[in-house]
Structure formats: C-alpha cells, structure tokens
Amino acid sequence: MLSLYPLQSSKRCAVIGGSGFLGRHLVEKLLDKGYTVSVFDIRQSYELPGVTFHQGDLCDKQALLTALQGVSLVFHCASPAPASDDKALFQRVNIQGTQAVLQACTEAGVQKVVLTSSASVVFEGTDIKDGREDLPYAKKPIDYYTQTKIEQEKLVLKACDKEKGLLTVAIRPHGIFGPRDPQLVPILVDTARRGKMKFIIGDGSNLVDFTFVDNVVHGLILAAESLRPESPICGKAYHITNDEPVRFWDFMSDILVGLGYAAPRYHLPYTLVYGLALLLWLLSLLLSPLVAFKPTFTPMRVALAGTHHFYSCSRAKQDMGYKPVVSLKDGIRRTVESYPHLRHGA
C-alpha cells in the first residue's frame, strides 16, 4: 500500500483559487514552510517569487493537467463569490469544475486533495449551536452558493480512494476575515457609509463563529500534512473556526468602532426585518425585467445576522491536533490595522 505514495514528503503543491483572499494567504504560508507552489486561477492578482501562475478556468481539464504536472498535493480554494445569484455559474464552477479537478488530479497522479468547503453546508437559516460535522447537509440550503458547496463537498469526499492512491479531506471554515478580505469588512463599511449600520437585528445575543484567515490556513496545512492512508481524516469533513463564538453584533461593532464608525444601537425585531427582506426580494424578482436592483437586506443576510451559527471543532482538535494560532482579539486588531483606506474620513 505504501508504495502508492512515493511522493508523500514532496513539497510541491498547487493552489486552485490561489489568487483569492484565502488562497493568497495559503500560498504565502506554504512558501514560508518551504513548499514549491503553483497557482491555478482564472485571474492573476499578484506576483511572488517561488510561485508559478497558471491562468485558466478550472472547468478546463487540459489547462489543469498542465498546471498539475509533478504536483502531489492540491488545495482547492476556488469558488464564485457567494454574493452572486448566478445559479448556472455556481453549478458550472462548483460542481462540473470540481469534477474536472478530481479527474485531472487522478490523471496527473496527484495523491492528496484538500477542499475548502464551508460550515454553511448544514445551515438552513435557523439556529445552530456548537454544530458538529455529523449534522445532516441542509435540505433547504439558503442560496445557490451553499447548494453547490454541498454537492462539491460530497464529490470530493466520495473521491477518496486509498486503493487508487487519491486521498481527500474537506475543511469547513466559517466567516473568514482578515487583511485583504474583499467581502466582510468592505460590505460592512459600505453599509456604514450609507448610514445603514444603525440597527441591531433581534436582541443582539446571537453567537456566531468568525475565523481569522491564518487559522483557516493553519487548518488546511494541518489537514494536508495529516492526510495519509492510515489517518482517520481520509474522506471526512472538519470544522475549522477560531473556537471563540462571539455575538454577531459585538464582532461587527468592534470592526466598525476600530475603523472610526459608530456601533449599531437600535434594536429591530428579527421577524419584522426578515419579513421585509423577503418582501424586497420578491419585489426585486417581479421587477427584474424592468429594473435591476439588489437589496442590501436579503433574507439570507438577515438570517446570518440574526441567528446563532457556531460550530464545534473538537473533531479537528482530536484527529489532527488543531488549535487556533491567532485569537479573535488579535485577529480583529490586525484586520482593522490592515484597512487604513476604509477608515472613517479616509
């Protein structure tokens, strides 16, 4: 059996989606740790010594095969942005694209695939407290992003085959934040600048996991380095969080106040805001042939802002010795310092 894994100690890897927020942090850490890295992405967003860029669409198996020559470990971190509502794009990239990635990995002799999945694969818009990995996949996923992340994770875990020499694992982070994040802080600041961050949805006591990007990177690399034929992690999913659930509105307020904006103060009932968001969403659907408008308050966002959703990472602690490397407090400080251009008045 071991002869199937002659390159187990090889430090040559590929990061699919390596131009993105998480992907680039992962690439930088891999370089620090002495890996040789190939990035495969539909766009090139930076240059770094020691990194070879391959620009292409992950649905194109031939393009992938070129990038995967001599690679023994693949991190798959590519996805369309969750904010999009383009069902066809999600299906093409997250489902057909992931099938192409798995086929290319098999043909190129890749031995390990580490997928960045999402803890949201079990979230249906209602409370999850200390959720474990054995929770069932969401029957009614909150959006196309989540729906296709579920299919993607199933495909990757099913492909784990010790006999064929391909080992797979899925990491499920939640609410990734940190320097260069194109989503969380920019959306928050944009909402504040438009004067819409005055309200707390619900009583403000709902606990949520936000995960500093370095902790996710740490979890991904630990998974890759623990992935061996005899390891319990083969073909399984693992929550990776900061392991410090925090009140959603305290986290938002810390970032806002850190950047010089006022924290939200006035409470609105959850059901009222959710109902309004549903109404707006229906209106935007009905009026879409005439005017295109995208409401800030989508039902999905209201659910994320007003419910508990935090997850246990005890499986990752037990099976791969995971422990967060940056605390929430330090993560928030480092994030705030990294956005001088988004400060109030800048």
Ligand X SMILES: CC(C)=CCC[C@@H](C)[C@H]1CC[C@H]2C3=C(CC[C@]12C)[C@@]1(C)CCC(=O)C[C@@H]1CC3
Q: What residue 58 binds from ligand X, ligand NAI, none (CB within 5 to 8 A, per partner kind)?
A: ligand NAI
Instruction: Give how far the C-alpha of residue 130 lies from the chain's centroid of Cα atoms, to the nearest Å.
Output: 18
Q: Report the residue closest to ligand NAI, judged by CB.
A: 20
Known catalytic membership, residue 145: yes
Q: What residue 51 binds from ligand X, ligand NAI, none (CB within 5 to 8 A, per partner kind)?
A: none
Q: Count CA atoms within 13 Å of residue 338 on its CB side.
A: 14
Q: How far is the CB of 166 from ligand X (least distance, A)?
A: 30
- For residue 108, give every residue at least 6 positions away whose Cβ sits within 8 Å of its Cβ, in sequence order, or none: 64, 65, 68, 69, 71
C-beta closer to ligand NAI: residue 58 or 169? 58
Q: How far is the CB of 144 from ligand NAI (least distance, A)?
A: 12
Q: What residue 21 binds from ligand X, ligand NAI, none (CB within 5 to 8 A, per partner kind)?
A: ligand NAI
Closest residue by Cα to residue 183 from 213, 156, 153, 162: 213
* CB-based contact 260:338 (threshold 8 Å): no
* CB-based contact 308:207 (threshold 8 Å): yes
Residues of this chain that interact with ligand NAI (CB under 6 A) are 17, 19-23, 41-43, 57-58, 77-81, 93, 97, 116, 118, 149, 173, 175-176, 182-183
249 φ/ψ sector (left φ>0, alpha ψ -120 to 50, else beta): alpha
Q: How far is the CB of 267 from ligand NAI (least distance, A)?
A: 26
Distance CA 9, CA 331 (A): 32
Q: Is 212 exposed, middle or buried (0-12, 13-18, 19+ CB in 10 A)?
A: buried
C-beta closer to ligand X: residue 111 or 116? 116
Q: How far is the CB of 288 from ligand NAI (least distance, A)?
A: 24
Residues of this chain that interact with ligand X (CB under 6 A) are 174-175, 183-184, 187-188, 191, 199, 201, 208, 210, 296-297, 301-302, 304-305
Query: Choosing from 145, 261, 270, 274, which is the catalytic residue?
Result: 145
Residues tagged active-site: 145
